[in-house]
Amino acid sequence: MQASTAILLVQTGTPREACPAAVREYLTEFLNDPFVIHSRGARWIIKHLLISCYAKKTAEKYARFFNGHGRTLTDTSNALASKLEQMLNNTRVVSAMRYGEPSLERVLNKLVHENISQILIIPLFPQFSRTTTGSIINHVSHILPLLSKKLSVSFIEHFYHDPHFIDCLTAHINSHLDKDTEHLFLSYHSLPTSYVRKGDPYVDQCVQTTNLLKQKINLPADKISHVYQSRMGWGQWQGPFLKDELEQITRQGVKKVAVAFPGFTFDCLETLDEVGGMSLQLIPCLNDSDQWANALEQIITSKMI
């Protein structure tokens, strides 16, 4: 790769601090995205009636996350970018957020002024969803013409079945399983079923990820369950749900249960705060581990050949 090439890692985002005002600002931008909330009426209700009600409670969750985890999503993203930049000669690697700071606009503008001519953008979501990667691609397509007409941009839209990702995640999960683990949940962020019916490929890709992992994880396939979490608002959401399935197997006498998150590459509120209140062994996400940096470097290199 040439010196005029940059890699841009993108995550959803995070409030600048764990206070109601910052959380309100972040949630307003996030939940006002039509790629996230399809209904204009629902976005109006959320923006004008619900965000203020939930800002304080959500800020308390972020405070627990920041204090307990010790690092924000921005910290972990920057650490991963730094590792990749050392691996990829003559290539800038930076991180940005779809919502909040550092924003896509700010980071892309900075790269333009550094005379970068080619950018490979990698949304750090293994599975493609219109609500995540789709929103990022759409946003970039709108702001890019305003920044530069010479900048060439490409995307890695998913890596849910990439052998480097699957092997890395398998080894990571296996290294955290105890010898007496009786059951493992593979838990993914849920999605409204209406989005699935409209053609969002996310759920199908999640199922494919689970099937690939089941072939390599050191547990019998019938001891591994595919579940979802993180419902938001009303309507029907994709299941089965982690909480319900956990209650069912504990009633059957299963005690030693672990959970991993193949749809999340970084730990966040959903993996640590939401699930942390359940009686489960939490297997951390890949975060900025050396193993994940190595696997991501291989994914990037294979796409650039």
Cβ atoms within 10 Å of 290's Cβ, excluding its own: 8
Rounded mean pLDDT, 198-216: 98
* pTM for the predicted model, two decimal places: 0.93
The pLDDT value recorded for residue 13 is 94
The pLDDT value recorded for residue 121 is 97
pLDDT level of residue 113 (50, 70, 90 thresholds): confident
Rounded mean pLDDT, 6-24: 94
For residue 97, list its beta bridge partners. Answer: 11, 103
Is the per-residue pLDDT at 1 higher than 70? no
Is the per-residue pLDDT at 305 higher than 70? no
To the nearest whole number, what is the mean pLDDT of the chain? 92
- 178: helix, coil or strand? coil
Rounded mean pLDDT, 35-41: 89
pLDDT level of residue 209 (50, 70, 90 thresholds): very high
Cβ atoms within 10 Å of 179's Cβ, excluding its own: 6
Is the per-residue pLDDT at 149 higher than 90? no
Rounded mean pLDDT, 291-299: 97
Q: Do residues 189 and 270 make contact, with C-beta atoms less than 8 angstroms apart? A: yes
Is the per-residue pLDDT at 205 higher than 80? yes
Q: Which residue has the higher pLDDT, 149 or 160?
A: 160
Q: Do residues 262 and 46 make contact, with C-beta atoms less than 8 angstroms apart? A: no
Q: Which residue has the higher pLDDT, 128 or 52?
A: 128
Tell me the CA end-to-end span of the chain in Å, nearest whole number: 9
pLDDT level of residue 154 (50, 70, 90 thresholds): very high
Rounded mean pLDDT, 188-203: 97
The pLDDT value recorded for residue 3 is 56
Q: Do residues 125 and 261 make contact, with C-beta atoms less than 8 angstroms apart? A: no
The pLDDT value recorded for residue 68 is 82
Tokens 């503008």 belong to which residue?
109
228-287 per-position pLDDT tens digit: 999 876 789 999 999 999 999 999 999 999 999 999 999 999 999 899 777 899 999 999
Rounded mean pLDDT, 195-209: 97
